[in-house]
Structure 1
């Protein structure tokens, strides 16, 4: 993965995003704050839905909760991708060699694959889950929660690795 990340870092420098993110006293801290906001929106939105699928708050209809909070989670993911690109551009050469950063990207890919698989397998059936979700759906929701929390923790650990 390192050659791909190195090429991405070089391209971000070529188009000016790298120098812009390194050359301003405000760009990096603002991008970092937006990245954290995106994480809160993502984990807050999908995490509540995941916890409901697992079995908490049984009085709340899963379908309605998902319909209300999934757009918040998606907006958080979009915000994280945009701000993460700026954060990566600031120090792409070093991050391309970081095992922790690579692990974070793998965890994010696994979390996205899990989300896509959940939507594919269960989205048409959610409305009928009045007595609770099936065990496989609960397992996927638990995996979602753990993967997104692991991705967030990995992001925090990059500075120490």
Structure 2
């Protein structure tokens, strides 16, 4: 994975994103703020859906909560990818060698795979859940919440590694 990240860092430097993100007093802090906003949107949106599927707020239809908040979470993810690319470009060579950054990417990949699997397996069935989701759906929701929180925590730990 390190060689792929090193190649990505070199490419971002070549197209000018790296020098732009390092050379401005505003780009990095704005990208960092947007990355945090994306995390809040992602975990706030999908976290509420996950908590509902896990059993909270049983009187509220899970499918309706998901329909309302999943687009917020997806918007947050898109914002995080865009801003994260700028943050990565600022110090890509060092991040490519960071074990914490590597773990963060693995956690994000696992969270995305869990989300895709959940949609594939349970997405069409959510409207039929009375108050309680099946145990496997609850387990996937708990995994989702833990994985996204771990991804956010890993992002913070990068600064201390």
Which whole-Å CA distance do the structure 1 matches of 2:122 and 2:154 have between them? 29
Matched, 1:13 2:13: yes
Unaligned residue ranges in structure 2 (runs of 5+):
none
Q: Report the TM-score when normalising by structure 2.
A: 1.00
1:158 shift after superposition:
0.1
What pairs up with 1:9-158 in 2 under 5 angstroms?
9-158=9-158
User: Partners in 2 of 1:133 and 1:105 — Cα distance?
Assistant: 29
Counterpart Cα distance in 2 of 1:50 and 1:124: 16
Deviation at 1:130, TM superposition (A): 1.2
How far apart are the structure 2 equivalents of 1:82 and 1:90? 13
- Gaps in structure 1 of 5+ consecutive residues: none
Q: Which runs of 4+ in 1 moved over 6 A?
A: none
Structure 2 CA distance for aligned equivalents of residues 91 and 142 of structure 1: 33
What is the total number of aligned residue pairs between the two structures? 161
Cα distance in 2 for residues equivalent to 1:36 and 1:130 = 35
Cα distance in structure 1, aligned partners of 2:19 and 2:41: 28
Task: Give 1:107 deviation, angstroms.
Answer: 0.1
TM superposition score normalised by structure 1: 1.00
Distance 2:106 2:123 in 1: 25
